[in-house]
Structure 1
């Protein structure tokens, strides 16, 4: 009986940590569902609501110091669900059955990889940096590129716009600066690293065949930011 009470005492504070993150994800899914009910709603808009909205859960996990096993478990579960959704109508409006992109799957995988790596290093800010660049940089780039992208270019059969790529650069820079200012302060390395990461994220986002940028952008941005910080910290 004492073991049962001990387990309950352990689970209760954990549930309080998880609840805001779960509530946020549920809220975003509800918003996407409501938008999907509108006449002439665009599937791309619905996907980007989920893409941008759910990415912010990493900030909640950081602020509340949620244990890494929670994020890893959620990532594995989401990865399985997204893989199944390519064959079955599990996530209508987010994934189309037979869709030729694994972007949603890669997104879920990247969250698990970054949480596992940077929570272990006690440097969660880099996981947050990578996911936020993916969520906001890539998400807004797609929307702005589709709406305002008049100057196109093609890489490996994937059409991009310079307007969308500029959006990735600008948003990535602002995200990097904000997170690094919060964690390492207003030092010259913050501004230099942010500029380099913004350019790296833009290049990685341009190579987006099969949705692989949802894996390369967050992981590449986070790892490069961490390595540059270690490299430049002695100067």
Structure 2
């Protein structure tokens, strides 16, 4: 259907991406036990891996296998993040910043960059748009604000907090810009989560 509607593979990839992200809210609301919590990411890993390695993703018009690995890496990052939460290595609020940054900031950045991003830059063999990078910075910054308010992070609204929020957004943007082949689906959520943990704990 994607081919018939002339929908680009990047758009299809990012809609899948954003859809997987929405599962995070179900996790926060409904799951406490680690085994139950990991079922969702495992299902996503298996389903996306099957789509990529069997060629089923081609039906959606998503045929770049190396980049399609990102569809597998993102639920793997969810698996890792949930495990780290239950091991008390990562706080829930920091993990939420990381996951939402990957899902929404990176997802919308790709869509905006594809549609309106004219000025391009080549980084590690991948083409990035300046508008897309600006989008991931802005959306990540907004995510940090919303999550910080919801979890009432210490120092909220202070000058130092604003600087830290900007640094988290900048870090996520750099990870997205500099990580090739879909691996940003690992580096962005984990990088944003740990940066948030270090700066705001």
TM-score bin (small chain):
0.7 to 0.9
Residue 18 (structure 2) pairs with residue 52 (structure 1)? yes
Give structure 2 stretches of 5+ with no counterpart.
Answer: none
Query: 1 CA distance for matches of 2:163 and 2:34?
Result: 30
How far 1:163 moved relative to its partner? 0.5
Paired position in structure 2 for 1:100: 66
Query: 2 CA distance for matches of 1:58 and 1:177?
Result: 18
Q: What TM-score, normalized by structure 1, do the two folds share?
A: 0.75
- CA 1:40–1:155 in 2, change beyond 3 Å: closer, same or farther? closer
How far 1:183 moved relative to its partner? 0.9
Compute the RMSD of aligned alpha carbons. 2.2
Q: Number of matched residues?
A: 195
How far 1:36 moved relative to its partner? 3.6
Q: Indicate the structure whose relative CO is greater, using CA pairs within 8 Å and at least 6 residues apart.
A: 2
Residue 144 (structure 2) pairs with residue 173 (structure 1)? no
Comparing 99-108 with 83-92, which one deviates more in the overlay?
83-92
Give structure 1 stretches of 5+ with no counterpart.
Answer: 1-34, 231-235
Paired position in structure 2 for 1:134: 102
Q: What TM-score, normalized by structure 2, do the two folds share?
A: 0.86
Identify the match of residue 91 of structure 2 among 123, 129, 132. Answer: 123
How far 1:94 moved relative to its partner? 7.2
- CA 1:95–1:115 in 2, change beyond 3 Å: closer, same or farther? farther
Query: 2 CA distance for matches of 1:212 and 1:150?
Result: 24
Paired position in structure 2 for 1:64: 30
Query: 1 CA distance for matches of 2:175 and 2:2?
Result: 30
Identify the match of residue 183 of structure 1 among 135, 151, 160. Answer: 151
Query: 1 CA distance for matches of 2:61 and 2:31?
Result: 29
Query: 1:40-85 deviations in whole A, cap 9, x for unaligned?
Result: 3333322222211220211221133443322323323322332332
Query: 1:69-127 deviations in whole A, cap 9, x for unaligned?
Result: 2232332332233233222134442753x612211111010000111112432832222
Paired position in structure 1 for 2:180: 209
Comparing 175-184 with 120-129, which one deviates more in the overlay?
120-129
Identify the match of residue 76 of structure 2 among 109, 115, 118. Answer: 109
Preserved contact between residue 175 and residue 187 of structure 2 (Cα < 8 Å): yes
Preserved contact between residue 85 and residue 95 of structure 1 (Cα < 8 Å): no
Query: 2 CA distance for matches of 1:64 and 1:81?
Result: 22
Could you say what secondary structure the match of 2:53 adopts? coil
- CA 1:116–1:95 in 2, change beyond 3 Å: closer, same or farther? farther
Residue 28 (structure 2) pairs with residue 84 (structure 1)? no
Comparing 70-79 with 46-55, which one deviates more in the overlay?
70-79
